[in-house]
Chain A
Amino acid sequence: MPESDILQAGTPADSKAVASLYFDTTAPLLDVQELRVDFQTKEGVAHAVNGVSFTLEAGRTLGILGESGCGKSVTAQAIMGILDSPPARVVGGKVLLSGVDLLTLNEDARRQIRANRIGMVFQDALSALNPVFTVGWQLGELFRKHRDFSRKQAKQEAVRLLDLVGIPAAGQRVDDFPHQFSGGMRQRVMIAMALALDPNVIIADEPTTALDVTVQAQIMKLLADLQAERNMGLILITHDIGVVADVADDICVMYAGREVEKADVYAIYDSPAHPYTQALLESIPRVDMKGQQLASIQGLPPNLTSMPSGCAFHPRCRFARERCREDTPPLYTVTPGRLSACHFFQEVLDS
């Protein structure tokens, strides 16, 4: 479906608040600028996201990479507007969806954006699906509440979606409960739910983490196929650098709530420009390195309430010098379109 069609025609159930918005088809599909999210905790304010920026075009896949606790999921939930606040609070930045800043919209309009324009796939489908409703009901709910479909129509749509994501005998399984599905099948249901209302953007938060390796590959392929077919923008959040390699077009590496490196996937794999990316890459098990000690990153991600001075990565960095303890590195342009937040990126590139 051509992007302009989706964007020009407000979906039937769009409230006035959304219908009156001007979605600019020439602007980037999703443009996140200097996003900041704080968490109010007992120990003080935790800066979970510290000025993250990235752009996603239609038909492209952006992989957001990082260890757990580095702010990936918080970024995703801030874009969706489903952060728990309190304790979380978006304290700065912009989230532009086709030129419209979502952060300035009222709650009703934001609610309409969810599922209609941005869909989300969660990590653990067993807990992310409501255990007491059938999958057909949960899928159909989207059509009944956003499109005013009848129960019967909604169920037909649910069957169609289950079929689309490759669930065998969709007509019968539509009345099953989440716990009756296998892990991979449940994740397909999640994907069907994210796709249901033809959103322009899908955010998949660790979509394959809880799955077997073989099933992981199937789910990634399904996501990639659907994305290509529908020309959607896909944000793929993962801690597993192997998962994004085949699917992502661009990679954004996050550390301690900041992006530390941004580049296209080939450049990153070829020669990382940030020591953290390099460390992540070295920690992938590889067939040609069989028998050797697998590298791991020393230490733990920093405590978000008391961030290290200067570059947040310096306590764990093998390139760290005096300067890293004092100056926070800006995002240096390594080559056009390629950024790295390391004072010594050249050194890293060469190593």
Chain B
Amino acid sequence: MGRYAVRRLLQFIPVLIGTLFLLHYLTTLSFQFNGNPVRALFGDRQPPPETIAALTRAFGLDDPCLSQPGNPCVGMFVERVGGYLRGDFGVDFNLQPVTDLITRAAPVTLRLTLLAIVFESVVGILAGVIAGLRKERFADNLVRISTVLVISVPIFVVGVLTQIIFGLYIGNWVRDRTESETMEAIFSISYQSDHPWASLIIPSMVLGATSLGIIARMTRTELIESLRSDYVRTARAKGLKPTRIVGIHALRNCLIPVVTLIGIDIGGLMAGALITEGIFNIPGIGGLVFRSVRTGETPIIMAVVPLLVLVYLIASLLVDLLYAVLDPRIRYE
């Protein structure tokens, strides 16, 4: 375990630096070709040059290398990573630290993601197990068709359609029949801060839908494979109950790749949160980026996206370590 963890950590650091640099270089390139983004913030207005200069400095975009197309601006990159290490992710348009915005928004996104992960793993694994046990029968075909559907349909389409179906039509039907505020919050078309969990339930289902499909398919394939394996035959020869054979012996092996998948998928969930939070008007980190994109607040996008990438990379590292915990064959390599 120790050696595996160290090796993974050593592989992780260059990828982390590489990805952050890639992000940095591509943003730098776009500034070099597009000109100072600060000027663009004002649109048609002509602010005094001092204001522009002050803002440019505040956003850390005053490096002369930004006027040399192709220059990777290594100095800026080092400074930025240094800032990340100190917990400094830059300032927004009003010169407030972006970290403040993030601390306010993070709990909402955390709740949404948590609900999504619970939803996709519980329903996904369950559907996969049912399909795997009833191979090539009705339940299996149903699961297979519906998973292709949720995997293929873009998440924003799922989002907007869910919003009208559940928020509007079913929502109206519910609102006509119940006094319960929680029920109304569940079927509302947008986030309600009075019901921080209930009003996130449906958005979290939208967010988890794609992964649910992938998880269900993977569980199904792995379970079918596992049920054919020799160790399941041994478990049967041991006179164990069928529930135990499937639930402990087969499933424990299937869940290793499935858990990994759930972990890797955190990147997808963050991108999905951007869309889901945008559609359902949720004041989380994704909603922050969504609104910043629409209003052209580049400093916020530039601060938040690297942070999300950082979270994603660290999550994938943790998942790799978790893999080792789950699979003894790797642990004792």
A and B touch in the complex (CB under 8 A): yes
Q: Which chain A residues lie closer than 8 Å to B244 at the CB level?
A: 145
- When C-beta atoms are compared, the residue in chain A nearest to B255 turns out to be A132
Q: How far is the CA of A145 from the CA of B229 in the complex (A)?
A: 22
Given A82-B233, A122-B230, do A115 and B249 touch, yes or no (CB 8 Å)?
no
Is A112 in the interface zone, CB < 8 Å from B?
A: yes
Question: Which residues from chain A contact B236 at a C-beta distance below 8 Å?
Answer: 80, 82, 114
The answer to whether the Cβ of B328 comes within 8 Å of any Cβ in the partner chain is yes
Q: Is A193 an interface residue (CB 8 A)?
A: yes
Stretch from A29-37, A123-131, A249-257, A281-289 contacting the other chain: A123-131
Known contacts: A122-B230, A179-B328. The answer to whether A131 contacts B237 by CB under 8 A is: no
Q: How far is B235's CA from A130's CA once the two chains are assembled, in angstroms?
A: 9
* Chain A residues, CB < 8 A from B239: 111-116, 142, 145-146
Q: In this assembly, does A261 line the interface, its C-beta being within 8 Å of a C-beta of chain B?
A: no
Question: Which residue in A128, A134, A177 is a CB contact (below 8 Å) of B234?
Answer: A128
Is A180 located at the chain interface by the 8 A CB criterion?
yes
Verify B230–A128 contact, CB threshold 8 A: yes
B52 CB → nearest A CB, Å:
61
Size category of the B interface is 20 to 34
- State in angstroms the CA–CA spacing of A134 and B332 once bound together: 12
Residues of chain B within 8 A of A236, CB atoms compared:
none
**Would B230 and A124 count as touching, CB distance under 8 A?**
yes
Interface residues of B in 207-256 (CB under 8 A from A): 228-231, 233-241, 244, 249, 252-253, 256
A141 within 8 A of B: yes
A120 within 8 A of B: yes
Tell me, in angstroms, the Cα distance from A124 to B233 when the chains sit together: 12
| CB of B326 closer than 8 Å to a CB of A | yes
Which residues of the partner chain A approach B240 to less than 8 Å between Cβ atoms? Answer: 111, 141, 145
**Residues of chain A in range 78-117 having any CB-CB distance to chain B below 8 Å:** 80, 82, 84, 111-116
Residues from 250 to 268 in A contacting B, C-beta threshold 8 Å: none
When the two chains form their complex, are residues B238 and A127 in contact, meaning their CB atoms are under 8 A apart?
no
In Å, the complex CA distance between A82 and B237 comes to 7
Instruction: State whether the Cβ of B327 lies closer than 8 Å to any Cβ in chain A.
Output: yes
Residue among B229, B237, B327 having the largest count of chain A Cβ atoms under 10 Å: B237
For residue B231, which residue of chain A has the nearest CB?
A130
User: Inside 8 A of A120's CB, which chain B residues have their CB?
Assistant: 237
Chain A 70-84 per-residue mask, 1 if CB under 8 angstroms from chain B, else 0: 000000010010101
Can you list, as one digit per residue, whether each of B95-108 has a CB less than 8 Å from chain A (1) or not (0)? 00000000000000
CA A80 to CA B237, docked complex, whole Å: 7
Indicate if the CB atoms of B332 and A177 lie closer than 8 Å.
yes
Q: A113-B239, A114-B238, A193-B238 are in contact. Are A128 and B233 (CB under 8 A)?
A: yes
Note all chain B residues with C-beta closer than 8 A to A133.
252
The residue of chain B having its C-beta at the shortest distance from the C-beta of A111 within the complex is B239
A98 to B328, CA, bound (A): 42
CB distance from B125 to the nearest CB of A (A): 17
Chain A residues bordering chain B, tally (CB within 8 A): 30
Docked Cα-Cα span, A128 to B249, in Å, equals 12
- Cβ-closest chain B residue relative to A194: B237
Distance to closest chain A CB from B331 (angstroms): 8
Question: How long is the Cα–Cα vector from A112 to B231 in the complex, in angstroms?
Answer: 19
Which of B231, B235, B238, B253 counts the most A-chain CB atoms under 10 A from its CB?
B238
- Closest chain B residue, CB of each to CB of A107: B242
User: Please, which residues of chain B bring their CB within 8 A of the CB of A124?
Assistant: 230
* Inter-chain contact A114/B235, CB cutoff 8 Å: no
Cβ–Cβ contact B328 & A177, under 8 A: yes
Task: Please tell me if the beta carbons of B233 and A122 are within 8 angstroms of each other in the complex.
Answer: yes
Residue B86 lies at the interface, judged by CB distance under 8 Å to chain A: no
**A142–chain B nearest beta-carbon distance, Å:** 6
* A114 contacts B237, C-beta separation under 8 Å: yes
CB atoms of A142 and B238 under 8 A apart: yes
Q: Produce 1/0 per residue, B238-276, CB < 8 A to A.
A: 111100100001001100100000000000000000000
Determine whether B329 belongs to the interface, using a CB cutoff of 8 Å to chain A.
Answer: yes
Complex alpha-carbon distance, A142 and B235, angstroms: 10
Kindly report which residue of chain A lies nearest to residue B233, judged by CB atoms: A82
CA distance A113 to B239 in the complex (A): 7
Closest-CB distance, B167 to chain A (whole angstroms): 44
Closest B residue to A127 by beta carbon equals B230
B 298-333 contacts with A by CB, 8 A: 326-329, 332
Bound form: Cα–Cα A15–B239 in Å = 12
Given contacts A82-B233, A122-B233, A145-B244, contact A131 B329 (CB under 8 A): yes
Binding site for B on A (CB under 8 A): 77, 80, 82, 84, 111-116, 119-120, 122, 124, 127-134, 141-142, 145-146, 177, 179-180, 193
Provide 8 A-B residue pairs closer than 8 Å at the C-beta atoms, listed in order of the A residue: A80-B236, A111-B239, A111-B240, A113-B239, A114-B236, A122-B233, A132-B252, A177-B332
Q: Write the residues of chain B forming the contact surface with A, with a CB cutoff of 8 angstroms.
A: 228-231, 233-241, 244, 249, 252-253, 256, 326-329, 332
Additional A-B contacts beyond A114-B237, A145-B239, A180-B332 (8; CB < 8 A):
A122-B233, A122-B234, A128-B230, A131-B329, A132-B253, A132-B327, A141-B238, A142-B239
